[in-house]
Amino acid sequence: MFLSRLNVSGFKSYTEPVVVDFDEKISVIIGSNGVGKSNALDAIAWALGEDDLTRLRCGDRKDLLFSGSEITPPVEEARVELTFSGNGTEILASRALTTSGKEEFLVQNESLGSASDYRATLANLGLGYARRNIVRQERLTDFFFKAAPDRRRYILRYVTADTEFDRINTLFQEYLDALIPGSYGRIFLDEIGEDADVEVTFPKKGAKRGVLLSGGERASTALALKLALFSMAPGPMYMLDEVEPSLDWTHNHNMQELLKKLAEHRQLIIVTHFQSTIRMARTVHGVRIRPDGSSWLKFHFVMDERLFKIYKCC
């Protein structure tokens, strides 16, 4: 199962209806700063039931609707429709919000009465964690700055048994070594208190806890941790929002090789400026600003070497 189509209208910076057809492996969204690339990921998360305004990068619910510009009036409704495809079937999920605050939730064209019912229905279809499987540049290392009880709760959200915790540690070690070869890491939970942390050993360096890691070390460790946790959660895809600048330059190639491996089993939708990441994609989606200040999906093409060589459009 993968997200095959995104329809957006009136959500954040998207005034005119936009249709995006994603590849089942790796798709990238490109464009200049401030054109609305990340808003596409917000639209997906919101349509999957996300209501945390911080995670949606909003200060108020009204920010979910296009507020207007000098030449374009505010919209009356924001609507996002998702189509998931796989095994010869399709799942359609739709969410809408009006300026009056009225919401609409549809799954397979059947109306649901509340956001909680909507999320429960999506969970029963294997889409419950999908809205959480997103890594943003500005939130990549947030785990290390949470209070100890919050770190523990964050880990336990993905753990239902001791065997699963062991599996998370195995994946964390595997992904960390892929990002920084020769490194070793483990997640530990304080069985007496409320703490949770990671301990990492890098080549030619001693063991360090999370708070003592350097910026580049912390970013790579955080990415390995989040990907390990995501692997335990049911969901068809991961979304990454300009993660590369947080990593040391030497680790970006390692990250891209890891992402290729992950894409064998999960769909990846990536917002990026990096040409080396764009080269991995099966489909490329470009966003530009329209004259009225709204976002515009300028192009969509299947990537090949010829197109990569002439890529200068954003």
Domain boundaries, given as residue ranges, for the chain: 1-131+267-314, 134-232
Q: Could you tell me the fold of the domain covering 134-232?
A: Rossmann fold (3.40.50)
Sheet hosting strand 196-201, strand order edge to edge: 184-189, 196-201, 207-209
Q: Identify the pLDDT of residue 313.
A: 45
- Residue 287 to residues 34, 39, 71, 133, Cα–Cα distance (Å): 10, 11, 20, 22
The answer, yes or no, to whether residue 118 has pLDDT greater than 80, is: yes
Closest CA to 244 of 226, 220, 266: 220
Q: What beta strand segments (E) does 70-193 contain?
A: 77-86, 89-98, 103-107, 110-112, 134-136, 184-189
One fold for both 1-131+267-314 and 134-232? yes
How many CA atoms, within 13 angstroms, populate the side-chain half-sphere of residue 154?
Answer: 25
The answer, yes or no, to whether residue 310 has pLDDT greater than 50, is: no
The one-character DSSP state at 64 is G
Domain 1-131+267-314 is in which class?
alpha beta
Over residues 263-275, the pLDDT tens digits come to 999 999 999 988 8
Decide: pTM greater than 0.85. Answer: yes
Q: Identify the pLDDT of residue 70.
A: 83
